Structure 1
Amino acid sequence: MTQTSPPGWHPDPGYTGFGPRHERWWDGTQWTDHLRVPPAAARSRRIRVGAGITAAVVVLAAVGGGVYLLTDDSDGKNDTVASAPSASPSPGPGRQRGGNGDDGGAGGNSGGGSESPEQGQPEIEDGYATDLASGISIPVPDGWKGESGMGAGVTTGSYACPGDTDQQCVRGGVFSAPAEALKLTTKTAKATAEKDIEANADQSYGEAIYGGITSHEELKSEAVTVAGQQGYRVRWKVVTKNGDDGYVESLAFPSPLAKDRLIVIRSGFDINAKAPSLSVLDEITKGIKAASGGGSGTKA
């Protein structure tokens, strides 16, 4: 910043290229110690909590084939959905501004309108849910709902969860998160997908909501190319005690932003006439791409 730049929130000059792109407060003459994650267009949700939350990183977990998005709620605030960073600074430190459907094929509704990204920042595009932390965009099928942020998800067909009708499950959902956010420390895409699938199944169709999983059948365990990266996926069919059975899939591949960082995409689809078919999941996977403006794909 120049000595004549007005006070405001601006991209942190010390940003390392991993995780949320923090903003730092410029007081008009120097950078201060005030940091924040860019403001969220927040909406409260009552959806089942599954995966752990890492500070300032959006974590997503499957719920009855669906997903929810969380930010760090250690201050007791409601769960919120993260959006793209604001294009202009807000007034000062601490003063932040504040689809359901059934089946469908890939390509359709917007995942949140286009934004003008900072240099090197992934861009949120129409028709995609964009993971700003991992640098990928997931296509939003017709009739589905997409959420972009430090993690991304697409969902369809909400309904009351069978084990807790005060909470909402969905018929189908696909979401992304950095492997580190899910506490996965395995080094290869294959090992990461193989390790994650059990946790994905449990959080999607586990004890509290579906009475637990009585059995599972492995449907796929194979290498796959996603967003130009060599990845690996594992897909299970699970049988539950209560409610619908389901399909769950864990897919891992390197981030286009940095080859040594793995992305995990968790998917869950109910086995129900109102749920999307597995062909939709395959179409979504084929349509995942590196987000525009997301950098060169080299290590940050």
Structure 2
Amino acid sequence: MSMTTPAGWYPDPGNPAVEHWWDGTAWTGHTRPAGTGAPTTVMAAPPPARRTGRLLAVVAAGVAALAVTATAAVVLGFGEDPPPDARNSPAPPPGTSSATAPAPAPPAASPSEDPSVVVDQLNGITLPVLDGWEEPEFGTGNLPTVATVAADPCPAASSRSCRRGSVSSLTATATGTADPRAIALGDIAEAADRAFEEDGLGVRPHGGIRSHEVVAERSTVVAGRTGHLVRWRVTTHQGPGGYVQSLVFPSSLGSESPVIVRFVLSAGPGAPPPSVMDDITRGIRPIGSSTGGGVGSSIGP
């Protein structure tokens, strides 16, 4: 009696780490990592060219140690050994073979899977992850954040570590205005307090702010949108102090709500120079964009 191979997930002969979906008549473009589903046992009729009285059976089995894996053995007729590359691979469904059905190219990584960026889905942007930076396991208030890998003991709380730099993005709320300059001027003091004053646990890692100096204020284009930045040099009661910047621009999404990107850099030895703020600004992109549409180019003094 003739039997056909039923629809199901089958290991890719060219890449055992990937499974492909067979719809009962042909391979589809759907893939998934191997071992994510239950194993499938398949009984299939041999291809027409192989009808010489030999029996073809494909058996898949296995549940082992908290992981489910699918394995298959091909048994060819009496007195004939299977080729080495088929001994640990299931026979392909009718009409296909490992030589004529190469695995499709893997899909391109989505922004959330790209290690070179951190995605802010809410505001429709990505933040670049520069060399020596990373997406920390615990961000700032659960905000999309990139930070330096390097850290130093905090000047006023040496049992704790202070990153040499960090950048976080958030949506501006309750500002009463959509003007990027007004929002940046209003946000910079709060950004400085969060970076160098008392933290959420009531600790002042830098001993608090002693004074500040405005070192930059200008219009700029970010992710294809005209925005504004304000940058302070902050002097703290303990330690080298540092830099803080509020960058504000309209989102490219929906109602174009203003986006705030806050930068914090230490001024201590080994810390990134203030110019890295401009590098990161140039690297901010709308989600799905590779160019940013003139990202970070200055349009004013």
Provide the rounded CA distance (Å) in 1 between the counterparts of 2:197 and 2:231: 16
Residues 7-48 of structure 1: per-residue CA shift (max 9 Å, x gap): xxxxxxxxxxxxxxxxxxxxxxxxxxxxxxxxxxxxxxxxxx
Paired position in structure 2 for 1:168: 161
Deviation at 1:146, TM superposition (A): 2.2
Instruction: Report how far residue 151 of structure 1 moved.
Output: 3.7
Structure 2 gaps of 5+ residues are 1-35, 37-107, 199-203, 290-301
Alpha-carbon distance in 1 for matches of 2:250, 2:113: 20
Residue in structure 1 matched with residue 130 of structure 2 by the alignment: 141
User: Would the alpha carbon gap of residues 179 and 143 (structure 1) be closer, same or farther in structure 2, given more than 3 Å must change?
Assistant: same
Change (3 A) 1:166 1:186: farther
Q: Which residue number in structure 1 is paired with residue 9 of structure 2?
A: none
TM-fit CA distance, 1:158: 1.8
Task: State the partner residue of 2:245.
Answer: 249
Displacement of 1:154: 1.2
Deviations 1:169-220 (A, max 9, x none): 110111111112xx54432111111000001111111152212211111011
Which segments of structure 1 move beyond 6 Å, counting only runs of 4 or more? none
Q: Is the 8 A contact 1:129 1:152 kept in 2?
A: yes
Counterpart CA distance in 2 for 1:259 and 1:167 is 41
Q: Does the residue aligned with 2:244 lie in a helix, a strand or coil?
A: strand
**Does 2:93 match 1:127?**
no
Q: Determine if contact 1:146/1:155 at 8 Å carries over to the other structure.
A: yes
Partner residue in 1 for 2:273? 277
Quote the offset at 1:145 in angstroms. 0.6
Indicate conservation of the 8 Å contact 1:160/1:166, yes or no.
yes
1:190 and 1:252 in contact (8 A); partners too: yes
TM-score for both structures, normalised by structure 1: 0.53
Shift of 1:166: 4.0
Percent of pairs with identical residues:
37
Distance 1:283 1:259, change over 3 A: farther
Compare relative contact order (CA 8 Å, sep 6+) and give the higher one, 1 or 2: 1
> Does the CA-based 8 Å contact 1:184-1:196 persist in structure 2?
no
8 Å contact kept, 1:137–1:291: yes
For the residue of structure 2 that corresponds to 1:177, the secondary structure is: strand
Taking the TM superposition and a 5 Å limit, the aligned residue runs for 1:1-300 are 116=110, 123-146=112-135, 151-156=143-148, 157-180=150-173, 184-207=175-198, 208-292=204-288
Contact 2:242 2:265 in 1 (8 A): yes
5+ residue gaps, structure 1, are 1-87, 89-113, 117-121, 294-300
Q: Which has the larger radius of gyration?
A: 2
Cα shift at 1:259? 4.6
Task: Give the aligned length.
Answer: 174
How does the TM-score come out when normalised to structure 2?
Answer: 0.53
- What SS class does the counterpart of residue 209 from structure 1 fall into? coil
